[in-house]
Amino acid sequence: MTFEPVWGTIIAWYLFLAGLGGGAFITAAYLHLRAPYAVHLIRYGRIIGPVAVCIGLVLLIFDATAGFHNPLRFIFLLTNFGSVMTWGVVFLAAFVVVALIVLVMDLLGKGRKVPLWLDVVGAALGLCVCVYTGCLLGVAKTFPLWNNALLPVLFLVSAVSTGMAAVLLVGIFRSPKEFSSVADLKKFHFWLPVVELFLVASLLFVTASSAESAGYASVMNLLAGDCSPAFWLVFILLGLVIPTLLEWKMLFMSSKEVEESRTGHMISATSDVLVLVGGFTLRLLVLVAAMPITIVQPWM
């Protein structure tokens, strides 16, 4: 049997956008705490957060065809609290509400009126959203590539990384001065793809030695199978290694003048775009490369 992935591109977009939205809001809350003078960057994070999550939710509703045709059925989503998806609905709903309140307060009060505690609550909910996207897949025993404790951590790191990249990217073009002033955030952002590289390597090592042969098959799918060009070229090289090298050059090897020049900013922007591309590719690869522990497989 050739296995058709249950979830495809639409769900990959959703997982990516939910993580990006949560990560962007976390970035805004972090800036509120550490760099409150960066009012524009904070505002970009507060806009990107709920907007990205809402776009993801629209995709999700559209993909759930039976519910899309009968919207009242979505009320049933709150009936089985043993399901990770039900918890996801709770976290997503709470996050969107808090994030929109923060956004409205920000826009009305010029960014000075949002209390820190509200940002912290929103960031905590954003964190829950990011981790939930990993747990959603993590509890499916069918797929050894998903059914492990590393995946939610990997998704969380990738989510925060893409969220920060989105905020910084908008910042480069809209408020380059503020972008240059948040060195702390950029150093934090630099380390995330590095951590991700180690998490991906660990995930693949552990999955390949899973008791089920499907684990090995999934890893081989990524490393040497149909998914390998996307895995090596797009995710590992473009999405993780090149941004790490570019940011390393900008943050640690270049003079302040170069870092704050237009060229420097364009290099940072390239790096951020690549992080976003890598984040989406990661979600898509995890969805399509996972092989099920089906009993009868042609190659067994």
Partner 1 sequence: MARYGMLIDTTKCIGCYTCRTACQRQNDLLPTEDFIRFEQREVGEFPDASIENVPLQCMHCEDAPCAQVCPTGAAHMGADGIVSVDQGRCIGCLYCMAACPYQVRVRNPQTGAVDKCRFCTVSAEQSGTKMCSCVEACLTGARIFGDLDDPDSEIVREIARTKAAPIAGDLTKAKVFYVR
* Residues in 85-114 at the binding interface with partner 1, rule: CB under 8 A: 85-86, 89
What's the rounded Cα separation, in Å, for the pair 41 and 32? 10
* Residues in 196-225 at the binding interface with partner 1, rule: CB under 8 A: none
Instruction: Please give the torsion angle defined by the CA atoms of residues 14, 20, 22 and 26, in that order, rounded to the nearest 10 degrees.
Output: 180
Number of other CB atoms surrounding residue 49 within 10 Å: 34
Can residue 262 be called a binding residue for partner 1 (CB under 8 A)?
Answer: no
Ramachandran assignment for 290, one of left (phi > 0), alpha (psi -120 to 50 degrees), beta (any other): beta
Can residue 69 be called a binding residue for partner 1 (CB under 8 A)?
Answer: yes
- Candidates 22-30, 33-41, 83-91, 255-263: pick the segment binding partner 1 (CB under 8 A): 83-91
- Reading the block at residue 120, the tokens are 């912290």
What's the rounded Cα separation, in Å, for the pair 273 and 265? 12
What's the rounded Cα separation, in Å, for the pair 140 and 188? 32
Q: Which is nearer to partner 1, 86 or 181 (CB)?
A: 86
* Residues in 2-21 at the binding interface with partner 1, rule: CB under 8 A: 3, 6-7
Site track for partner 1 across 117-146, x = CB under 8 A: -------------------xx-xxxxx---
To the nearest whole angstrom, how small is the minimum distance from the Cβ of residue 224 to partner 1? Answer: 23
Can residue 66 be called a binding residue for partner 1 (CB under 8 A)?
Answer: yes
Q: Pick from 37, 80, 201, 205 the residue near partner 1 by CB under 8 A.
A: 80
- With CB under 8 A, what is the number of residues at the site for partner 1? 39
Q: What angle do CA 83, 87, 93 make, to 5 degrees?
A: 145
* CA dist list (Å): 258 to 52, 180, 241: 32, 11, 21
Is residue 86 a contact partner of residue 77, using CB atoms and an 8 Å limit? yes
Q: Which is nearer to partner 1, 90 or 101 (CB)?
A: 90
Interface residue list for partner 1 (CB under 8 A): 1, 3, 6-7, 60, 63-70, 73-74, 76-77, 79-80, 82-86, 89, 136-137, 139-143, 292-296, 298, 300
